[in-house]
Structures are given as structure tokens and as C-alpha cells.
């Protein structure tokens, strides 16, 4: 994540980060508000529109960040390294954070293991349990094919983590560090901006789902609090390892543990 020793102003870094956070949210409403496209006829079409918008925002943020940062070498490997896409120390940068993330969600993982043991006892163990495990593994190929065509799976495990981490981690953290912010400040400032980018969920809860103002505030407040905590953890991993794939693996581990 290192640049060439030059720096940018703190105000420019913060303004750029806020602009990217707002852009990430506002662009989702471009198809209907600005382009005046008709409402999506299905959930799949609705999500595909959002995928395209998120991809455009991500590419624009990466390009804009590259021009703001004091980068003098435009070699592909160097640029990718600034964004945390690198090969050096990849093994250590993946295994250790993965173990740490597994420890964070150990409670959920242990609970799933207990459910598995309970199911094993109900099947009587032995041959019945073996048949149960064998049938489970036999269903994996079909489950993979089904998931590949499930737009929600693409949203939760591909589009959302990739675009969010590239914008809110790969772009923002180098900007903040290059502006002279302390590491602890950058660790907590990025997830705060990330949580603010999710305030549109309040609108969906309050208007679309007809929740009361108090109930919508409590739901969104809990989501934002959790987002800040995990975002700070993800920012810490990114700064310590310099590898953005680590964050994706941790994000996936979190999703599987909560699933």
C-alpha cells in the first residue's frame, strides 16, 4: 500500500472518501431516477441493474483514487499492489487471518458442529450416519449449480464483497494513510463511512416494509453497529497484511458462519 513518500491533504482524502461512499449508494438509483427506466420486472433484473451500477462505481473509484494518490510508477504490478492485490506473503496473509476470523466466529461454528453431532445421534451413528454424510456430499454438485444461478448468492458472495472491499478498503485506506491519518484513525474511519453508505436501508425498512420509525431505526442501528465492528476488523487485516483477498476470505467466512 506504499506510495512514493508524498502526501495529500487530509481534507482532500476525507472529501474523496465521502464522495465515493455517497457515489456507491446514489448510483444504485440512477436507472430509475435519472435514466427513467421502468421498474424491474423481477428480482433478478433488479439485482442485475444493481450489479452493473456497483461495478461502474468500483471502476470509477479505482481510477479516481489512482490519479489522486502520489503514484509515479504506473506498472500494473505496482498499481495492483497499492490496492492490496499482490502475491508476496500471500500464504501467511491468508492462513493467519482465516484462523483469526474462524476464532471470532467460533461460537457459530461450534453451534453448527453441535447440530451436526445431534443429527448424527438421531441417525443412530454407524452406517446410518455414513449414509447421511455420503448423501450430503452427493448433493454438493447440485447445490453448486443451483447457487451459481441464484442471484442472491452472487450478491452475497461475489458482487457485494468484491465491490465493497475495493471501494471502502482498497481505495479509502491508502488515501487516508497517505494523507497522514494515524492507523487507528483509518481503521475506524473507513467502516464509519461504510456504515453511512448503508443508511438507505432505513428508507427501505420504513417505506417499503412499512416498519415503524422506531423499529426501522433499531434494525438499521443494529446493522450499522455490526458493520462498523466488522469493518474495523477488516480494515485492521488489510493494513496488517496489505492483501485485499484476505478481506474477501474473512467476509466469506463471516457469511458462512451467519448463514
Task: Give the DSSP letter string of 158-211.
Answer: IIHHHHHHIIIIIIHHHHHHHTT--HHHHHHHHHHHHHHTTTHHHHIIIIIS--
204 is catalytic: no
**215 HSE (CA, 13 A, CB side):** 8
CA 69 centroid distance within chain: 23
pLDDT tens digits, residue range 79-98? 888 898 888 777 777 787 77
pLDDT exceeds cutoff 70 at 103: yes
Gap between the Cα atoms of 259 and 246, Å rounded: 20
pLDDT exceeds cutoff 90 at 215: no
Q: How far is CA 7 from CA 11, 12, 180, in A?
A: 12, 11, 7
The one-character DSSP state at 189 is: H
- Tell me the percentage of the chain whose pLDDT exceeds 90: 28
CA 201 centroid distance within chain: 16
Which among 164, 165, 201, 204 is annotated as catalytic?
164
Q: How confident is the model at residue 222 (pLDDT cuts 50, 70, 90)?
A: confident
Which among 198, 201, 204, 209 is annotated as catalytic?
198
Arithmetic mean of pLDDT, 197-208 = 73
Gap between the Cα atoms of 256 and 156, Å rounded: 10
Q: What is the pLDDT of residue 70?
A: 86
Rg, C-alpha atoms of the chain? 21
Phi-psi label, residue 107: left if phi above 0, alpha if psi -120 to 50, beta otherwise: alpha
pTM of the model: 0.81
Gap between the Cα atoms of 161 and 256, Å rounded: 13
201 is catalytic: no
Instruction: Specify which of 4-13, 33-42, 128-137, 199-208 reaches the highest per-range mean pLDDT.
Output: 33-42
Gap between the Cα atoms of 61 and 23, Å rounded: 9
How is the chain split into domains, by residue range? 10-258
Mean pLDDT computed over every residue of the chain: 81
Q: Which range (8-17, 108-117, 149-158) has the least confidence?
A: 108-117
Q: What is the pLDDT of residue 124?
A: 55
Amino acid at each position: 500500500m506504499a506510495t512514493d513518500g508524498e502526501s495529500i491533504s487530509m481534507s482532500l482524502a476525507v472529501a474523496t472518501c465521502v464522495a465515493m461512499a455517497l457515489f456507491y449508494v446514489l448510483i444504485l438509483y440512477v436507472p430509475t431516477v435519472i435514466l427513467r427506466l421502468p421498474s424491474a420486472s423481477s428480482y433478478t433484473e433488479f439485482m442485475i441493474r444493481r450489479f452493473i451500477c456497483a461495478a461502474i462505481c468500483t471502476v470509477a473509484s479505482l481510477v479516481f483514487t489512482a490519479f489522486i494518490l502520489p503514484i509515479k510508477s504506473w506498472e500494473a504490478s505496482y498499481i495492483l499492489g497499492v490496492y492490496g492485490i499482490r502475491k508476496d506473503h500471500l500464504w501467511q496473509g491468508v492462513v493467519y487471518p482465516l484462523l483469526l476470523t474462524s476464532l471470532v466466529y467460533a461460537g457459530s461454528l461450534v453451534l453448527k458442529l453441535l447440530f451436526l453431532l445431534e443429527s448424527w445421534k438421531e441417525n443412530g451413528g454407524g452406517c446410518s450416519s455414513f449414509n447421511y454424510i455420503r448423501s450430503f456430499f452427493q448433493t454438493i454438485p447440485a447445490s453448486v449449480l443451483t447457487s451459481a444461478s441464484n442471484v442472491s448468492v452472487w450478491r452475497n458472495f461475489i458482487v457485494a464483497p468484491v465491490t465493497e472491499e475495493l471501494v471502502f478498503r482498497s481505495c479509502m485506506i491508502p488515501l487516508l494513510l497517505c494523507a497522514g491519518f494515524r492507523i487507528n484513525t483509518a481503521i475506524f474511519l473507513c467502516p464509519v463511512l461504510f456504515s453511512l453508505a448503508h443508511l438507505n436501508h432505513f428508507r427501505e425498512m420504513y417505506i417499503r416494509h412499512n416498519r415503524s420509525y422506531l423499529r426501522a431505526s433499531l434494525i438499521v442501528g443494529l446493522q450499522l453497529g455490526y458493520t462498523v465492528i466488522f469493518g474495523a476488523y477488516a480494515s485492521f487485516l488489510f493494513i496488517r497484511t496489505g492483501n485485499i483477498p484476505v478481506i474477501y476470505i474473512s467476509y466469506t467466512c463471516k457469511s458462512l458462519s451467519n448463514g
